[in-house]
Amino acid sequence: MKTFRFFIILIVLLCAFIPVFAQDAGSGSGSGISAENESEVFYVNIPVEKIYPYQKGYVVLYRKGIGGLGETYIPLEWFSDPDGKADLIRLGSGKRWPYLTVFYKDGEFSHLRLYVRREMNHETWGNIPLGVNLDSRFEGVETIILDF
């Protein structure tokens, strides 16, 4: 009976220390992953309050901080190219969208995904009043700068 307890304790201890050794082995130079091949990619999800389609792009009002709203301008050209800077993803009903996901690579803007409701009559879609000219806001936009 004592040998049986000894083996049980030994197995438990081995199982407890295996993750420690496995993690050390994965971070060594023999893992096949080098620091030169890695890049720092991260993303930010931003809740969207309203999306306004415009002839040259989308005006997006997003929540910033506790009580404020920010706005950003996303040119249509970003959506047209398969390797463009933006994807428009139309989704059905749900409470988790609309939102904007902005991806950064090595600390600089890479691309974005705008998740919206498919139905254009949903309250999150808006219309820009007639006679408002926003053309200059969409010219020369190369990056998205978000204000939190």
Range of the domain at 83: 41-138
Sheet bearing 68-75, strands edge to edge: 68-75, 57-64, 41-54, 99-105, 108-117, 86-91
pLDDT for the residue 126 = 95
Angle at 132 between CA 74 and CA 67, to 5 degrees: 60
Per the CB < 8 A criterion, the answer to whether 76 and 68 are in contact is no
For tokens 């000894």, what's the residue? 6
The confidence band for 26, taking pLDDT boundaries of 50, 70 and 90, is very low
Residue whose structure tokens are 């309203």 = 50
Residue 95 predicted with pLDDT over 70: yes
93 and 119 in a single domain? The answer is yes
Residue 25, pLDDT score: 44
Query: Does a structural domain hold residue 22?
Result: yes
- Do both 107 and 53 map to the same domain? yes
- Tell me the mean pLDDT in the region 42-54: 94
d(Cα 138, Cα 129) in Å, to the nearest integer? Answer: 17
| pTM for this model (two decimals) | 0.70
Q: What is the mean pLDDT of the chain?
A: 82
Find the mean pLDDT for residues 131-148. 89
Tens digit of pLDDT for each residue in 67-81?
889 999 999 999 987
Query: Into how many domains does the chain fold?
Result: 2
**Shared domain check, 116 and 64:** yes
Residue reference for tokens 């959506």: 79
CA atoms within 13 A on the CB side of 58: 25
Same domain, 18 and 50: no
Domain assignment present for residue 33? The answer is no
> Mean pLDDT over residues 56-63, rounded?
94
Same domain assignment for residues 22 and 94: no
Residue 146 included in any domain: no
Contact status, residue 59 vs residue 69, Cβ threshold 8 Å: no
In a domain, 121, yes or no: yes
Task: Inform me whether the pLDDT recorded for 12 exceeds 80.
Answer: no
